[in-house]
């Protein structure tokens, strides 16, 4: 499936309030990053009219962006995952109109975030348009966490918000967390000197990324695989309990194509 321009922002639209929030965020991201936007609607949850309404919503929010739409039939998670090979990012709501949902997280957002080849941004209720502390990202000092830190720096740069790097090694002491967080952020400071970044190993990522505390952040960024939690453990926990935007980023050890294996030319450079 190769119907989008490489490097596009892809957003799922089904006419639900959650999906509309995702469309607004995706339009802003396309505007800031000067990227094309593809609005995807999957039948029977949505129709061509639903897709057209979402396109108009995006154009009204950010006039002048390059936005197009397409309609698919079949499982939404399968269609979006296939598109992720060429996308810069997938944007979805936390729930939708589909018949199958989990109690806390929509089935599509849960499935796509666990298998997409590019970062997946899940727009939780109330997460668009609030002024908050900036971006929070988990760091464990391993190469696996570098793609999520890269994504977090890029978002902080695009949106001119501060970035906090928090250590995330279950059971580790403060000195180990400090070293892990500092080493993870070091190379990116030189690449993004404009980003106001603080390394706070004493701040618990797990606590900050869940529940009421998470509402203070503009976005929480987590790798799909994190140390000590197994595949998707931390990411799923954050997705289900965060009260803000959550970006789930494929890690360096995910099966290809992962973040550096996509067809998006802006992601082709080696990590520091």
Residue partners of 266: CB distance under 8 A and separation at least 6: 7, 88
**CA-to-CA distance for 184 and 202, rounded, in angstroms?**
15
Complete domains list, the chain, with CATH:
8-123 (3.40.50.620), 135-263 (3.40.50.12370)
| pLDDT < 70 positions in the chain | 1-2, 95-107, 126-132, 169-178, 180, 201-202, 225-233, 252-272
Decide if 140 contacts 168 (C-beta within 8 A).
Answer: yes
pLDDT at 248: 93
Q: What is the DSSP string of 64-85?
A: T--EEEEEEES-HHHHHHHHTT
Give me the count of residues in the chain: 272
Helix (H) or strand (E) holding 245: strand 245-249
pLDDT at 225: 67
* Residue 129 Rama label (left phi>0; alpha psi -120 to 50; beta): left
Cα radius of gyration (the chain)? 17
**CA-to-CA distance for 79 and 75, rounded, in angstroms?**
6
Closest residue by Cα to residue 155 from 237, 72, 220, 62: 220
pLDDT in tens, 177-199: 667 677 778 788 889 999 999 88
pLDDT at 128: 55
**CA-to-CA distance for 190 and 193, rounded, in angstroms?**
6
Sign of the CA dihedral 227, 139, 267, 13?
A: positive
Percentage above 90 pLDDT, the chain: 38
């Amino acid at each position: 499936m190769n119907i989008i321009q490489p490097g596009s922002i892809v957003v799922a639209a089904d006419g639900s309030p959650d999906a509309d929030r995702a469309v607004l965020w995706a339009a802003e991201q396309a505007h800031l990053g000067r990227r094309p936007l593809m609005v995807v609607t999957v039948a029977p949850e949505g129709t061509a009219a639903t897709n057209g309404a979402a396109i108009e919503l995006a154009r009204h929010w950010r006039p002048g962006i390059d936005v197009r739409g397409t309609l698919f039939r079949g499982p939404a998670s399968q269609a979006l995952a296939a598109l992720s090979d060429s996308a810069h990012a997938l944007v979805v709501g936390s729930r939708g109109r589909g018949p199958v949902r989990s109690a806390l997280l929509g089935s599509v957002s849960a499935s796509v975030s666990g298998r997409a080849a590019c970062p997946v941004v899940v727009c939780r209720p109330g997460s668009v348009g609030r002024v908050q502390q900036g971006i929070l990202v988990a760091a464990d000092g391993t190469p696996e966490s570098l793609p999520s830190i890269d994504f977090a720096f890029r978002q902080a740069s695009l949106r001119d918000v501060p970035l906090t790097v928090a250590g995330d090694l279950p059971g580790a002491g403060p000195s180990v967390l400090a070293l892990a967080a500092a080493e993870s952020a070091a190379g990116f400071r030189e690449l993004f000197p404009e980003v106001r970044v603080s390394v706070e190993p004493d701040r618990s990522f797990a606590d900050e990324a869940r529940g009421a505390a998470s509402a203070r952040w503009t976005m929480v960024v987590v790798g799909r695989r994190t140390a000590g939690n197994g595949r998707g453990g931390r990411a799923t926990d954050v997705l289900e309990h965060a009260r803000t935007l959550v970006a789930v980023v494929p890690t360096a050890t995910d099966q290809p194509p992962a973040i550096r294996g996509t067809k998006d030319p802006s992601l082709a450079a080696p990590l520091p």
